[in-house]
């Protein structure tokens, strides 16, 4: 059997050296600075952000690095070490939503969104390098848009990057870029995680509309070295699925259900249900008011998943790793059976992890491919990743890869 691939994170020094060299080779000058923003892994609370719900991501040590210089005109040039002969160009002047094709839409869209929001940003030259796998549910897109937003904030002295509250402006530009320039729907979890997480903490993000910056995020200690288990992140590398239609469908169903239930969003319903002495019976009562089976399943996922976020935080804080693991399992089963966003690779990776002694395992990210996470005993990550890789090989799936993971820092200036 083939040995499982391990994707190690680049250090800041390595990342900075790479993007600086690429910048110099491409543009023949030195960059004004180097910035980085991480990918993220969501511990629990999936498909809840766009329902006004809760989620609990950590920032990965895997980051996207950007070397950037501002320009005095409105031209943009971007290059990525994915293909360094492909320098993409754009003009911010007269640019409209959806006006850029391909990967350049992500960084160009950030400058466009900042300008649309009235901020004084001109063009730029930038070079990127990343160790966040693409399309793996670990948010390479947010790592790219958030690193660009922080770099533009620095290069144009906008002053938002220095504070957590200020970063909301940059997060919004990153979200707008993904939604309106790249045409990839996103609910805000990824960008908030990449911009607001702190080392050794998971961030409890609350997407209830109308909250202040302070109310919307709470740092929760997530220092695994205190508790024993490790977090295994495994990218299944399931073939890319066309999931945009599916995501939009799930969102639309949730919105329709909230309306039928007379609520602004499913979070309101979840809060009512979870406040009852017997939430399970309360949930049944809610579901009886809906007459579509699929809609009932979607609503059951969202409401139970929102409840699991605080249950997980409580279990983890008490050092009750078995309950924390059980909640991972319940989350996955709900995403598989009720939200129906898993694929065989995700289900099998989760099954193997559980069979091999993981305390709990679940898919993470939007689903339809991507990654799983598992809470495993100290020293077990690599063995369990290998067992998953062996099972994938037997089944003829793509070879998965494992990422050593811990709660790392959010977007920052490197040089
Ligand atoms: P995810 O965010 O889960 O990794 P997405 O489909 O949202 O998946 O974003 C992946 C896309 O982001 C890539 O296909 C590519 O277009 C773009 N991208 C992200 N990082 C880079 C990079 N360093 N260089 C070029 N393109 C990138
Ligand atoms: Mg993405």
Token couple for 230: 């490790």
Question: 234 near 403, Cβ under 8 Å?
Answer: yes
Q: How far is the CA of 241 from the centre of ligand 2 (A)?
A: 13
Cα 47 to chain center, whole Å? 11
DSSP β-bridge partners for residue 70: 124
Q: Pick the residue whose CA is nearest to atom 13 on ligand 1.
A: 134
pLDDT at 43: 98
Rounded to whole angstroms, the Cα distance separating 69 from 79 reads 13
Q: How far is the CA of 102 from the centre of ligand 1 (A)?
A: 10
Say which DSSP state 336 is in.
H
Cα–Cα distances in Å, from 315 out to 105, 199, 270, 327?
Answer: 41, 20, 20, 9
Q: How far is the CA of 111 from the centre of ligand 2 (A)?
A: 18
Q: Pick the residue whose CA is nearest to atom 8 on ligand 1.
A: 135
Question: 152 near 31, Cβ under 8 Å?
Answer: no
b/e map 305-318, b = 16+ CB within 10 Å: bbbbbbbbbebbee
CA atoms within 13 A on the CB side of 224: 18
pLDDT at 244: 67
pTM over 0.75: yes
Question: 200 near 179, Cβ under 8 Å?
Answer: no
By most ligand atoms within 8 Å of CB, the mutation choice from 37, 134, 185, 186 for ligand 1 is 134
Rounded to whole angstroms, the Cα distance separating 101 from 82 reads 16
Cα–Cα distances in Å, from 52 out to 208, 211, 384?
Answer: 4, 10, 35
Rounded to whole angstroms, the Cα distance separating 327 from 309 reads 9
Rounded to whole angstroms, the Cα distance separating 145 from 123 reads 15
Q: Pick the residue whose CA is nearest to atom 9 on ligand 1.
A: 141
Per residue of the chain (415 residues), give pLDDT as tens. Answer: 899 999 999 999 999 999 999 999 999 999 999 999 999 999 999 999 999 999 999 999 999 999 999 999 999 999 999 999 999 999 999 999 999 999 999 999 999 999 999 999 999 999 999 999 999 999 999 999 999 999 999 999 999 999 999 999 999 999 999 999 999 988 899 999 999 999 999 999 999 999 999 999 999 999 887 668 999 999 999 987 666 689 999 999 999 999 999 999 999 999 999 999 999 999 999 999 999 999 999 999 999 999 999 999 999 999 999 999 999 999 999 999 999 999 999 999 999 999 999 999 999 999 999 999 999 999 999 999 999 999 999 999 999 999 999 999 999 999 9
**Pocket around ligand 1: residues whose beta carbon is below 6 Å from it?**
64, 80, 82, 103, 106, 128, 130, 134-141, 144, 184
Q: Which residue has the tokens 């002694």?
A: 357
């Amino acid at each position: 059997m083939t040995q499982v691939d391990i994707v190690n994170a680049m250090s800041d020094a390595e990342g900075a050296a790479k993007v600086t060299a690429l910048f110099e080779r491409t543009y023949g000058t030195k960059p004004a600075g180097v910035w980085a923003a991480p990918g993220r892994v969501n511990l629990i609370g999936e498909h809840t952000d766009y329902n006004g719900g809760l989620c609990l991501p950590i920032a990965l040590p895997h980051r996207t690095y950007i070397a950037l210089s501002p320009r005095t005109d409105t031209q943009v040039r971007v290059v990525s070490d994915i293909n360094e002969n492909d320098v993409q160009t754009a003009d911010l002047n007269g640019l409209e939503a959806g006006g850029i094709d391909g990967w350049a839409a992500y960084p160009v869209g950030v400058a466009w969104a900042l300008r649309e929001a009235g901020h004084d940003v001109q063009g730029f030259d930038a070079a990127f390098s990343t160790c966040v796998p693409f399309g793996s549910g670990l948010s390479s897109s947010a790592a790219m848009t958030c690193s660009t937003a922080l770099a533009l904030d620095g290069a144009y002295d906008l002053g938002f990057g220095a504070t957590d509250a200020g970063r909301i402006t940059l997060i919004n530009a990153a979200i707008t870029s993904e939604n309106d320039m790249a045409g990839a729907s996103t609910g805000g979890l990824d960008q908030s995680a990449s911009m607001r997480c702190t080392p050794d903490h998971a961030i409890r993000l609350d997407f209830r509309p109308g909250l202040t910056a302070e109310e919307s995020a709470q740092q929760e200690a997530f220092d695994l070295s205190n508790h024993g288990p490790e977090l295994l992140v495994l990218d299944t590398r399931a073939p890319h699925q066309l999931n945009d239609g599916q995501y939009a469908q799930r969102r639309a169903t949730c919105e329709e259900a909230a309306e039928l239930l007379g609520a602004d969003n499913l979070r309101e319903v979840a809060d009512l249900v979870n406040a009852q002495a017997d939430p399970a019976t309360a949930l049944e009562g809610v579901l009886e008011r809906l007459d579509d089976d699929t809609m009932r399943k979607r609503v059951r996922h969202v409401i139970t998943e929102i409840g699991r976020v605080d249950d997980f935080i409580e279990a983890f804080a008490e050092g009750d790793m078995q309950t924390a693991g059980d909640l991972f399992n319940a989350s996955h089963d709900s995403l598989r059976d009720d939200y129906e966003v898993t694929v065989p690779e995700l289900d099998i990776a989760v099954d193997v992890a559980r069979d091999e002694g993981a305390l709990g395992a679940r898919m993470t990210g939007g689903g339809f491919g991507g990654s799983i996470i598992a809470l495993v005993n100290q020293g077990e990550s690599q063995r369990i990743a290998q067992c998953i890789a062996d099972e994938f090989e037997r089944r003829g799936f793509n070879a998965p890869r494992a990422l050593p993971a811990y709660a790392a820092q959010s977007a920052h200036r490197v040089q």
